[in-house]
Amino acid sequence: MERCPTVRSSGRPLCRPARPAASRRISGLLRRSGQAFFCWLFFLCVVWVPPVRADNPATSVPAQAEEALATPSPTAPPAISDALPAILWEEQDGLAFAELPLPLRDGPGPSLAVVRLPPENFDFVLCAVGRGKHPPLTLKQWAQREGLAAAINASMYLPDGVTSTGYLREGDYANNSRLARRFGAFFVAGPDDAALPAATIIDKEEPDWQERLARYRLVVQNYRLISRDGRILWKPGGPRTAIAAVGVDAEGRILFLHCREPLDAYSFAEGLLRLPLGLRSTMYVEGGGQAGLVLRTGTIERDYAGRSAAEFLSAGSIRVALPNVLGARRRTTAPVPETAAGPR
């Protein structure tokens, strides 16, 4: 190998000796591997938005889905624009369905699917794998198996793939008997007194909320999104994900809500309040690829799933199997009040 000339005064070489060819090949391989690693790291941090999860909701709040911990100061809801056209509802078999763009601050946003369900026409039920020995099912499979006209996520769930992040029971079946301290909304159905609402959302700010829970057969706890007086109980900003939510309007009708395209929860709530839906209490039930909604009635069949990273890497839409589903089953007879067990 040819040597580099040296400077006489110092004895140091004027250039570095050439490295062997094998060493140069190894360095190039390491450099290319490092570039590939950082490309994947960029994808995971910027492109991929993980689904909302809470490993221990009673003691921690996931950054992806955080109900405002401090009670926000009362603010007027976003004004309903006079320029917005009336909602064109499709009505069949006692329910109504609509699909329309969410009105955001800077113009029309992603599409919103809404199923409006009067409690006098439907029984609300919990479908849970914890009751049986079959594996989790997709929303469509749950609807077919249980004869549901509409179905949506009941709640987020823990890594065991069975347990809800918040309190969840129906009658004698308790999926999670712990009240999550930071979850402020409870969907309830099946009262023990016909004078009570057949289905509604109870807010934790109500002074008698625990006593009221004990009067209902079905109780599902989740994060609050919009309070009963029209305040948005969510911090502005945050990650953008698909969102599934459940609300109640001024006339006591239950609304299943689904936005398939990624959107932050605060903007989602603002858009809901701009629409002439008459929304009151609204709770967040799931986000990301797990968020879904199914409608099966008459000639209307819809199957919505939240967009996820996996969908970008495969052909077609991804349908996720879920352990706990909130379903609406068409009522054929008058409801019979049931005795409900309170939180333990």
The mean predicted confidence, pLDDT, of the chain is: 80
Run of H or E residues at 199:
strand 199-203
- Rounded distance between C-alpha atoms, residue 49 and residue 68, angstroms: 21
How much is the pLDDT for 59?
A: 30
Please tell me the predicted confidence (pLDDT) of residue 133.
Answer: 76
**Pairing relationship of beta strands 90-92 and 122-128 according to DSSP bridges:** unpaired
Output 229 or 253, whichever has higher pLDDT: 253
- pLDDT tens, residue by residue, 85-119: 789 999 999 999 999 999 998 889 899 999 999 99
Per-residue pLDDT, averaged over 43-50, amounts to 38
Q: CA–CA separation, 105 vs 213, rounded Å?
A: 37
pLDDT score of 83 more than 70: no
Order the strands of the 150-153 sheet from edge to edge. Answer: 122-128, 324-330, 150-153, 292-297, 300-305
What is the reported pLDDT for 106?
Answer: 87
Helix (H, G, I), strand (E, B) or coil at 300: strand
Q: Is 288 helix (H, G, I), strand (E, B) or coil?
A: helix
* % of the chain exceeding 70 in pLDDT: 69
pLDDT score of 134: 81
Give the mean model confidence (pLDDT) for residues 143-167. Answer: 96
Asked whether 330 and 149 are in contact (CB, 8 A), the reply is yes
